[in-house]
Structure 1
Amino acid sequence: MKFFRKIRLNLLAKQKFSKYLIYALGEIILVVIGILIALAIDNSNQNRINNDNENIYLLGLEQEFQASKTKLTELIAVNQTNYSGSKKILNYMLNTQSAPTEGEFSRLLYNTFSKDIRFNPNNSLLQEMINSGNLKNLSDPELRKKLTNWIATLEDISRQENDLSVQREKVLDMFRTHDTSLRTIFEQTGVNDILELPKSATSLSNLHLLESTTFENNILMFMLTSYSTEQAHYLPLLDDLDTILSTIQKQIRRS
């Protein structure tokens, strides 16, 4: 800086004002260029930091949605098992010539209605991004939109699962009456031994339910809701999940 200052003073002393102005202008240009270079370097560093942060988010989201896909696939399989089981019960009711044994009926009831259906996706990172406003750090606006819609879709899924749970409970409620027996089902399926319950001296049959119109209606409603849960909710949700996962994976920078 002292060197440039001496040059300016020397030009002024010699009254070379035109050269002084040209020199001063050149010096200003050099300063501006230096500032622009510094800003460019700073912006480049910030962009690199932003890209690295985005990649960390994308990798985390990939793991979450992979785990959610596994859960949803397993849940669809359970729902299909429940639907198939209720269909077998209905077939027994319609075809009285091929009635099941007490053990077969108990195992069919247990396998069909013992599991509740609830999709519990891995959304901790996504929720943190939404709550903290970091969702905007994702550069793809279409991905941001899909992730926001994903949360809204899950709320709709939850309502459908509540409906399915209600229909399941209506079937189970029929085993809370005096003329049916949960103990019989427990004894026939081995649950009694797992719970270490004493064995009953007498056994009450549940086969008369196959002649109950109320039981049939409850089974039909359960089947209908189970079918709707898969076809109108779970399968479209699985498609959405695959689309989001594919979009995330395309944007990840692998080291």
Structure 2
Amino acid sequence: MIKFFRKIRQKLLTENKLGQYLAYALGEIVLVVIGILIALAINNSQQKKTLAKKEQTYLKGLKNEFEISRVKLTRLVEVNKRNYLGAKQILDYTADQNQLPTEAIFSNLLFKSFSYDIAFNPNNSLLNEMINSGSLKDISNTELRIQLTNWISTLDDISGQEEDLDNQRKKVLDMFRSDENSIRTIFEHANPDQQISFPKREDGISNLKLLRSVAFENNIFMFYLTSYSTETSHYNPLMDDLNVILELIETEIEE
């Protein structure tokens, strides 16, 4: 094809038809440019299809991750609420010394409120991979990209709050490391699964005197306030953010 056009140009030059030659040469340039533009358009179209397919893969993976994280957060909120409601019941007993619970009731309250630590462990494998590889830019929805970036920084804040809550929980538990109080007594009365068995002490130590301790009451207060704040000021807003992210993902996923 190139040889064919070259022969035509040479013939025009030979025949001294300069005007026609220039017009033909210009037309040939236009045809070449058009060909290049068409090739670029086809290439861009293919790249867009590839990127769109890649984005859909990411979106579906992120949806799965955040749905799992929502289930985890929901369960964690339930555990945390159980913890601080149990602490609230203990505070009710410290406020009214005439209505003290039995050893079994107190032990169950302690076991229910302080057996489990609180830590949110979301599924962020894909999101972290996207951030580390620079693939977050492949998400075309600007608001979704911003929400995903903010999600990581919010988790750092949540982690700090959980660390504070864990410290308050340990302060309560540390009161059972002395000679005056007994962890064994708690397990004797509150071991629902009976996974840990041991003989009972004949001279069982009562923990009820803790309800008259101002230091114990202060530690329970701090635990309650920190646990309640963890839910209202951190977990609830985090759940709102999580739901917004899932809604944005849903709008971008193609059926």
CA distance in 2, matches of 1:199, 1:142: 60
- 2:191 corresponds in structure 1 to 190
Corresponding letter in the other structure for 2:225: L
**Does residue 242 of the first structure (1) align with residue 243 of the second (2)?**
yes
- 1:155 corresponds in structure 2 to 156
Q: How does 1:166-185 map to 2 (within 5 A)?
A: 166-185=167-186
- Secondary structure of the equivalent of 1:98? coil
- Does the 8 A contact of 1:110 with 1:185 survive in 2? yes
CA distance in 1, matches of 2:191, 2:29: 90
Give the Å deviation of 1:16.
Answer: 2.9
CA distance in 1, matches of 2:237, 2:191: 37
Segment of structure 1 superposing worse, 129-138 or 95-104: 95-104
CA 136–173 in structure 1, closer or farther in 2 if over 3 Å, else same = same
Give the Å deviation of 1:221.
Answer: 0.8
Corresponding letter in the other structure for 2:242: L
Corresponding letter in the other structure for 1:177: S
Per-residue Cα deviation, 1:197-237 (whole angstroms, up to 9, x for no partner): 33333321111111111111111111111111111111111
Q: How does 1:63-82 map to 2 (within 5 A)?
A: 63-82=64-83
Query: TM-score, normalised to structure 1's length?
Result: 0.93
- 2:135 corresponds in structure 1 to 134
Give the Å deviation of 1:191.
Answer: 6.2
Query: TM-score, normalised to structure 2's length?
Result: 0.93
Q: How does 1:28-107 map to 2 (within 5 A)?
A: 28-107=29-108
Give the Å deviation of 1:68.
Answer: 1.2
Q: Which runs of 5+ in 1 are unaligned?
A: none
Give the Å deviation of 1:192.
Answer: 8.8
**CA RMSD across the alignment:** 1.7
Segment of structure 1 superposing worse, 13-22 or 62-71: 13-22
Corresponding letter in the other structure for 2:154: T
- 2:201 corresponds in structure 1 to 200
Give the Å deviation of 1:123.
Answer: 1.1
CA distance in 1, matches of 2:13, 2:134: 58
CA distance in 1, matches of 2:213, 2:12: 112
CA distance in 2, matches of 1:153, 1:12: 74
Corresponding letter in the other structure for 2:129: E
Corresponding letter in the other structure for 1:215: F
CA distance in 2, matches of 1:79, 1:191: 19
Segment of structure 1 superposing worse, 215-224 or 186-195: 186-195
Segment of structure 1 superposing worse, 117-126 or 16-25: 16-25
Percent of aligned positions with the same letter in both sequences? 58
- 1:210 corresponds in structure 2 to 211
Q: How many residues align?
A: 254
CA distance in 2, matches of 1:55, 1:175: 54
CA 100–37 in structure 1, closer or farther in 2 if over 3 Å, else same = same
Give the Å deviation of 1:143.
Answer: 2.1
